[in-house]
Amino acid sequence: MNKEDIHKKISGLRDELAKHNYNYYVLSQPTISDFDYDMMLKELEKFEQEFPEFYDSNSPTVRVGSDKTNKFLQVKHDYPMLSLGNTYNLEELKDFDNRIKRIIGFDIPFSYSCELKFDGTAISIKYKNGKFLQAVTRGDGEQGDVVSENIKTIRSIPLVLSGNYPELFEIRGEVIMPHSIFNQLNAEREENGEMPFANPRNAASGTIKMKNSAEVAKRKLDAFLYFLSGENLPSDSHYENLETAKSWGFKISEDKKRVNTIEEVFQFINYWDKERYKLPYDIDGIVIKVDSIDLQNELGLTGKSPRWAISYKFKAEQVSTKLLSIDYQVGRTGAITPVANLEAVQLAGTTVKRATLHNADIIKELDIRLNDYVFVEKGGEIIPKIVGVDETKRELNSSPLKYITHCPACRSELVRIEGEALHYCQNTLNCPPQIKGKMEHFVSRKAMNINCGEATINTLYNAGYLTDISDFYFLTKEQILNLEGFKEKSSENLLKSIEISKTAAFERVLYALGIRFTGSTVAKILAKNFKTIDNLIQTSIEELTLTDEIGIRIAESVYQFFRNSNNIRIINRLRSSRLQFEINEEYITKNILNGAKIVISGTFKNNSREEIKTLIEQYGGKNISSVSKSTDYFLAGENVGPSKMEKVTKFNIRILSEEEFFSLIR
């Protein structure tokens, strides 16, 4: 191909990928599989690398982010990003309505646009000639940080527009983190020994200010756009402008409504006060805007907020209930977490019996005492938390709570590491919850994937057959048959599962060891960079910190883990059991599946499901448990359930037989 043909090919790929982004992230109507999308993206990346003269800052390839450190510049907003006046009171909304009518005249008809108030972080994006130009945070309202590279990673935000748009304009909106992503992120943080985020809003805000846009891309943020600013807007109606912006490629909420009276505003509020819990993301209220742009300009601004808009904030649902007791849970790292046991109470549509107390500082700050009546909210509408005490109901003889000084399981003295909020039990060798917690982590699906649940581990531990994770590989059929509830078949299944686990890749074995702060992602990075367990054992803290994404805290934790003689003893026993303690270079190069999401169902003739799952990972695919529109392949054996096949048909997912799967990876 000559240069002109190559340029056309690159432009065509960019247009095609932009169209698929819009279909998937805005319309929720994908017309291509993730696998095919990724292959198209890789083709574009290859062309762009070979022909840098055709570079475009708004190419779909920027969606994956960069590992270069961003430095945030501050710029002044063309239009101030003012905050809205808030109210929790319907009467104050009536006053707002009357103020507007007094200014514009009681006989002038006008409409309101009622919209969801997304609980995220505000952003303003500028477009010039239909192309993404710059994204800026709210900041102090007058100026904010330029976070363009991070915002470009959000796939629901278009980089190039289609249709008839103004030459230059700004569009404002809210960057959010959906509940599913938030829960996944917090699970990973807890797994790594990090403090979880309090709510999706904090997580979204923190993510936008990360220095590494490649890491931002992994967080899978979303965004809704809700306001246009600029000259030559399509309509005098704010509501119509949003509808038009949708045709340009923007993700605009469908859950908005244009109404003519304040009574209709109340109806909209009352509806969403109940329905908000069904949304897959957080909202904390309703925004009411005068719809006419001309009337907005006539009404003008106060010193800090527009006169033509107001937000009604939902009251955080809060209940009072009795604190019955406090459990102190011991994690596999020895961290102590206090958990409040409460009299059962209904909160935000669920029954709450327990709430986290986080640490000793929270208990002291709130002066929480046993038998107190406490106020419970759902932080970010997800995590139950105690926010205060009703001291009017406090028992006269109550006394301040004394935080425990010794481990509730093994009675070892607790320590508090400087700079950390948690207390720890350091008796790693003889504290039962820590030992069993390490075993549960070791057998988990992302680790060794051994078919051994918590109850079985508890039984084996109590019988003396398991004292550490290496003992799994020295269990005998006779020992297992001695246990209550185990028969010939169940014993064979457990031993077969243990045997299959020996094929797990080095990165999974490394993750399974349970090194503090080393989640599955960090384990992959360490395996890729150090190749063997011996290299890791011999490396220094300085060498570890030179590795991308490995900070000082992770480096110190990894280094100290391999200085522990008991850990080395366990590793040597696992090594003698033929576990994989070095990376398979051939495995690294086999990325044939390129991130394809595959659901396995049914039984197979020549291979077990676990063997096939291992192959999917080795060839660069992802095992997922349930069928959705993002599934690329459905690998079907015999006796597939009808409900799964119904979803496969509905989403038009390609079905693979066992033979077709092996043909694909070869």
- Identify the active-site residue in 3, 76, 117, 152: 117
Task: Tell me the torsion sign for CA atoms 158, 159, 165, 170.
Answer: positive
Closest CA to 229 of 267, 177, 172, 272: 172
**Whether residue 553 sits in one domain with residue 624:** no
Domain that holds residue 60: 3-64
Q: What share of the chain is helix, strand, coil (3-state, %, to 5)?
A: 40, 20, 35
- Tell me, yes or no, whether 624 lies in a domain: yes
**Whether residue 291 sits in one domain with residue 213:** yes
**Whether residue 596 sits in one domain with residue 568:** no
pLDDT of residue 186: 84
pLDDT of residue 381: 46
**Whether residue 138 sits in one domain with residue 20:** no
pLDDT of residue 303: 63
Considering just the CA atoms, what is the radius of gyration of the chain in Å?
A: 28
pTM value > 0.75: no
Q: What is the number of domains present in the chain? A: 5
Residues 332-346: what's their mean pLDDT?
Answer: 92
The one-letter code for the residue type at 388 is: G
Strands 309-313 and 85-87, sheet pairing: parallel
Domain final position from 585, 601, 619? 585
**Whether residue 198 sits in one domain with residue 131:** yes
Instruction: Assess whether pLDDT exceeds 80 at residue 405.
Output: yes
pLDDT by residue (tens digit) across 225-235?
999 999 889 99
Instruction: Assess whether pLDDT exceeds 60 at residue 380.
Output: no
pLDDT of residue 379: 56
| Pair of tokens at residue 191 | 């797994």
- Tell me, yes or no, whether 411 lies in a domain: no
Query: Exposed, middle or buried: residue 220 (CB in 10 Å: 0-12, 13-18, 19+)?
Result: middle
**Whether residue 359 sits in one domain with residue 235:** no
- Distance in angstroms (rounded) separating the CA atoms of residues 138 and 213: 19
Phi and psi dihedrals of 289, rounded to 5? -125, 140
Instruction: Assess whether pLDDT exceeds 70 at residue 34.
Output: no
**Whether residue 442 sits in one domain with residue 380:** no
Instruction: Assess whether pLDDT exceeds 70 at residue 171.
Output: yes
pLDDT of residue 37: 78
Closest CA to 382 of 222, 179, 116: 179
- Tell me, yes or no, whether 656 lies in a domain: yes
- Tell me, yes or no, whether 413 lies in a domain: no
**Whether residue 23 sits in one domain with residue 129:** no
Phi and psi dihedrals of 69, rounded to 5? -75, 125
**Whether residue 128 sits in one domain with residue 83:** yes
Q: Is 402 noted as a catalytic residue in this protein?
A: no
Choice between 405 and 40, residue whose per-residue pLDDT is larger: 405
- Tell me, yes or no, whether 451 lies in a domain: yes
**Whether residue 124 sits in one domain with residue 39:** no
- Tell me, yes or no, whether 396 lies in a domain: yes
Domain final position from 555, 585, 615? 585
CATH number of the CATH domain containing 129: 3.30.470.30
pLDDT by residue (tens digit) across 66-76?
555 566 888 98
Confidence class for position 60, pLDDT limits 50, 70, 90: confident
Domain final position from 585, 600, 633? 585
Instruction: Assess whether pLDDT exceeds 70 at residue 47.
Output: yes
CATH number of the CATH domain containing 625: 3.40.50.10190
**Whether residue 376 sits in one domain with residue 322:** yes
Alpha-carbon 382 to chain mean position:
13
Residues 46-59: what's their mean pLDDT?
Answer: 85
CATH number of the CATH domain containing 332: 2.40.50.140
Instruction: Assess whether pLDDT exceeds 90 at residue 618.
Output: no
- Tell me, yes or no, whether 383 lies in a domain: yes
Residues 94-121: what's their mean pLDDT?
Answer: 94
273-282, 485-494, 610-619: the lowest-pLDDT one: 610-619
Confidence class for position 35, pLDDT limits 50, 70, 90: low
Mention every residue, 6+ apart, whose C-beta is less than 8 A from residue 438. 332, 468, 469, 514
pLDDT by residue (tens digit) across 570-615?
999 999 999 999 987 655 556 788 888 899 988 887 777 777 887 8
**Whether residue 240 sits in one domain with residue 109:** yes
- Tell me, yes or no, whether 505 lies in a domain: yes
pLDDT of residue 555: 94
Confidence class for position 530, pLDDT limits 50, 70, 90: very high
pLDDT by residue (tens digit) across 182-222?
988 888 877 776 777 877 888 898 899 888 888 899 899 99
CB 516 within 8 A of CB 332: no
Q: What is the mean pLDDT of the chain?
A: 89
DSSP readout, 240-282? HHHHHHHHHT----S--EEESSHHHHHHHHHHHHHHGGGSSS-
CATH number of the CATH domain containing 543: 1.10.150.20
38-42, 171-175, 362-366, 528-532: the lowest-pLDDT one: 38-42
CB 154 within 8 A of CB 65: no
CB 657 within 8 A of CB 633: no
Instruction: Assess whether pLDDT exceeds 80 at residue 535.
Output: yes
Residues 6-19: what's their mean pLDDT?
Answer: 88
